[in-house]
Amino acid sequence: MTVLLVALGGAVGAVLRYLVDLRVRRSHRTLFPWGTLIANMSGSALLGLLTGWSLAGGEPDTVRALVGIGLCGSLTTFSTFGYETVRLVSERARLYAVANVVVTVFAGFGAAATGLVAASAIWG
């Protein structure tokens, strides 16, 4: 059953990541990969919230499998982040590449911390 929950969450997360990226690309014509950044930040915030809930005594295994592993695992994407950074370097947009790495790392940590703090306020 757990494998099916992970697969279901992963399917939803992958489609959601694609739709977020598509929407952002349509509204922002730039070399910077804003869609991937927004998807990664959203998934990090959701995982932070889920972790905070878990620390407060919540999070049954089914929710962890569906949302934490499945949805957040496929919504956030290290492979696309890596690919887009290499693409920026190869297109000689090195400043964008460096900005992508720095902003993604710090924004991801910040989003996860924000989710954790929000969970503490809700369930703490």
Q: pLDDT (tens digit, 9 = 90+) per residue, 101-122?
A: 999 999 999 999 999 999 999 9
Q: Which tokens sit at 1? A: 């059953």
The full set of domain ranges for the chain reads: 2-123
Asked if the model's pLDDT at residue 6 lies above 90, the reply is yes
Which H or E run includes 4?
helix 2-27
Is 30 in a helix, a strand, or coil? Answer: coil
Q: Please check whether residue 116 is in contact with residue 50, taking contact to mean a CB–CB distance below 8 angstroms.
A: no
Q: Please check whether residue 9 is in contact with residue 65, taking contact to mean a CB–CB distance below 8 angstroms.
A: yes
pLDDT-derived band at 99 (thresholds 50, 70, 90) equals: very high
Residue pLDDT, tens place only, 55-77: 999 879 999 999 999 999 999 99
